[in-house]
Amino acid sequence: ITVASEVMAILCLATDLKDLEKRLGDIIVAYRRDKSAVYARDLKADGAMAVLLKDAMQPNLVQTLENNPAFVHGGPFANIAHGCNSVVATTTALKLADYVVTEA
């Protein structure tokens, strides 16, 4: 769950696909014998991870039992990420409504 936690946090904090790929590339995956970091971008894994998460960058629009619209996006669970929904969901909602309530 540790790896999933970091990727979920990155997904929720990314503002667009380019930002997502950059953040994924910044993940430290190992250390060399000289104790320097090996990043996901060094393994050319950042692009592949971004492609896998491309569709996940789009927030889901759902309807509550009271017929209100709601964006559900990311993993807003403090045990696996930073504890609130995605930046994309919040910024999208702010463009569509006068006020936004978010879980945190």
Q: Tell me the per-residue pLDDT of 40-99, one tens digit each, with 9 for 90 and over.
A: 999 999 999 999 999 999 999 999 999 999 988 887 666 666 778 889 999 999 999 998
Q: How far is CA 46 from CA 1, 5, 22, 27, 53, in A?
A: 19, 16, 7, 9, 11
With respect to residue 104, please indicate whether it lies within any of the assigned structural domains. Answer: no
Query: pLDDT (tens digit, 9 = 90+) per residue, 13-24?
Result: 999 999 999 999
With respect to residue 103, please indicate whether it lies within any of the assigned structural domains. Answer: no
With respect to residue 25, please indicate whether it lies within any of the assigned structural domains. Answer: yes
Cα distance between residue 83 and residue 36, in whole Å: 30
| Helical (H) or strand (E) element with 96 | helix 87-96
Cα distance between residue 75 and residue 5, in whole Å: 9
With respect to residue 20, please indicate whether it lies within any of the assigned structural domains. Answer: yes
Domain of 22, in residue numbers: 2-96
